[in-house]
Amino acid sequence: MARTKAVLGSGARLSDYLSASLLARVVSADVVHAVLNEHGRNSQRIRSFPAVAGVYYCMALSLYPEAAYEEVFAVVAQGLAWASGAAEPALVRKSSISTLRSRIGSAPLRELVLRCCVPLANMADHPEAFYAGLRLVAIDGSCFDLPDEADNAETFGYPGSRTSLAGHAGYPQARCVVLVECATHAVLGANLGPFRAGEWSLCTDLLPRLQPGMLCMADRGFNGFEQWRDARATGAELLWRCSSTRKLPAQQLLPDGSFLSVIRPTGVGRAEATEQAITVRVIEYAMPGVDDGQPRYRLLTTLLDPQLAPAMELAALYHQRWEIEAVFDELKTHLRQGRRVLRSKTPDLVRQEFYGWVLAHYAVRWLLHQGATCHRIPHAELSFKGHVELLRRAQPHSGAFPPRATPTATTLVQ
């Protein structure tokens, strides 16, 4: 892994290398150009560090979180120098990198997440990714620290603190929500907002990512009437946990021990509430012998037929929702190597870095998926950390491979 700055051979451009990089196999250079053009952020003339290269650079920042801006450039540029026979990669000043990042902004990176982060699993190769023909997905949120800059603090806010004299934590925090394919851990959608934003308010932008043929799982924060109605309107099926104390009178007992009930809107008259009521199926179960387990768990689902979706199967299935916690661990611990604070000092660059982070995670998961599919093994049996290291090692030399080259299985399984 290079840590020195140098120069490219005559006529060589970083964009030439990046168009054939490992990252570009996941996020096509043609798509990057199209998105930059649509947002009016593409380079209008040939540059040594054009806008399309800047987009891939934003992704690479999360692959090398311990390195300075210039060092990350040296790493990603090394592949072009190696492939073209040049002695050393190009020198780019930190100020040039900052200027380009500001010119690109966050909107193109967010759009690339929408276009490129698609489901990976297919039923033939990975049946564990599905239940009754439905793709298993989950939605949840998390927070992370930002640089303690005035603009970041004003936009995203601080969490409270009982011990700080200032009355708040030492760093501002942003809140994110993600939609994840459970089996592959592929992030299918992501949104970012202030620390004190409600998770559901951030989730509304992700609802278009839900679609018929999915079974979406969520924890107790997402089971209000309006949330249920809006999520169900996407055509996806739902399996959400709710509070065990919520009043859900049984209207019809079912053979597997579950029952049908209704949920109604609040703040409206009784007649209107009755008219808008939605029938749900309630599943209650216990998990004896589990440390810190609760006396009773309760799930709501749109799958009303107990013969097609027995209660015991859904109770066991719901715990795949916790795969999303593993995704947050991959993002924070393995991809960023435990680095607590993002780099960016302005709100728009925070958003840009966040979406580049998501795209880098998706690239690692795409790489892992190739090995899982080739060898017909579950994704859980392959090491995410190992594939992060593989991508870090391979990225500087990936310019030697054409964009559509078929990687060998032995280079993918770690």
Written as one string, the DSSP assignment of 72-137 is HHHHHHHHHHHHHT-SS-----HHHHHHHHHHH-SHHHHHHHHHH------TTT-GGGEETTEEEE
Out of 3.40.50.2300, 3.90.350.10, 2.40.30.10, 3.30.565.10, the CATH code matching 116-327 is: 3.90.350.10
Taking alpha carbons only, the member of 334, 336, 363, 388 closest to residue 118 is: 363
Inter-residue long-range contacts of 245-249, CB under 8 Å, 24+ positions, other chains counted? 246/298, 248/280, 248/282, 248/298, 248/300
Tokens of 82: 């190696």
pLDDT at 338: 65
Return d(Cα 183, Cα 168) in angstroms, integer: 38
- Name the 3-class secondary structure at 308: coil
pLDDT in tens, 57-88: 899 888 888 778 877 876 666 544 444 455 55
pTM across the whole model: 0.85
Taking alpha carbons only, the member of 53, 52, 58 closest to residue 33 is: 52
pLDDT in tens, 286-341: 877 666 667 788 999 999 999 999 999 999 999 999 999 999 999 988 887 667 68
CB-based contact 286:297 (threshold 8 Å): yes
CB-based contact 136:215 (threshold 8 Å): yes
398 or 131, which is more confident: 131
CB atoms within 10 A of CB 377: 14
Is pLDDT of 125 > 50? yes
pLDDT in tens, 204-258: 999 999 999 999 999 987 778 899 999 999 999 999 999 888 889 999 999 999 9
Containing 217, the helix (H) or strand (E) segment is strand 214-218
Where residue 338 falls (left for φ over 0; alpha for ψ -120 to 50; beta otherwise) is: left
CB-based contact 189:114 (threshold 8 Å): yes
CB-based contact 306:324 (threshold 8 Å): no
Q: Which residues partner with 301 through β-bridges? A: 239, 281
Q: SS3 string of 169-206?
A: CCCCEEEEEEEEECCCCCEEEEEEEECCCCHHHHHHHH
Where residue 257 falls (left for φ over 0; alpha for ψ -120 to 50; beta otherwise) is: left
Domain boundaries, the chain: 1-104+384-414, 116-327
Distances (CA, A) of 382 to 93, 122, 175, 184: 38, 17, 29, 11
Spatial CB neighbours of 273, under 8 Å, sequence gap ≥ 6:
264, 265, 266
CB-based contact 27:116 (threshold 8 Å): yes
pLDDT at 4: 39
Rounded to 5°, the CA angle 397-400-403 comes to 110
Return d(Cα 5, Cα 70) in angstroms, integer: 8
Is pLDDT of 169 > 80? no
The tally of CA atoms less than 13 A away on the side-chain side of residue 375 is: 18
Taking alpha carbons only, the member of 320, 298, 323, 321 closest to residue 311 is: 298
Q: In which band, very low, low, confident or very high, does the pLDDT at 350 lie, cut at 50, 70 and 90?
A: very high
CB-based contact 159:142 (threshold 8 Å): no
pLDDT at 228: 94
**C-alpha dihedral (359, 97, 339, 325), degrees to nearest 10:** -20
Rounded to 5°, the CA angle 63-331-173 comes to 110
- Name the 3-class secondary structure at 333: helix
Q: Which residues partner with 128 through β-bridges? A: none
Percent of the chain with pLDDT over 90: 50
Is pLDDT of 47 > 80? no
Taking 3-state DSSP, the helix, strand and coil percentages for the chain, each rounded to the nearest 5, stand at 45, 15, 40
- Name the 3-class secondary structure at 288: coil
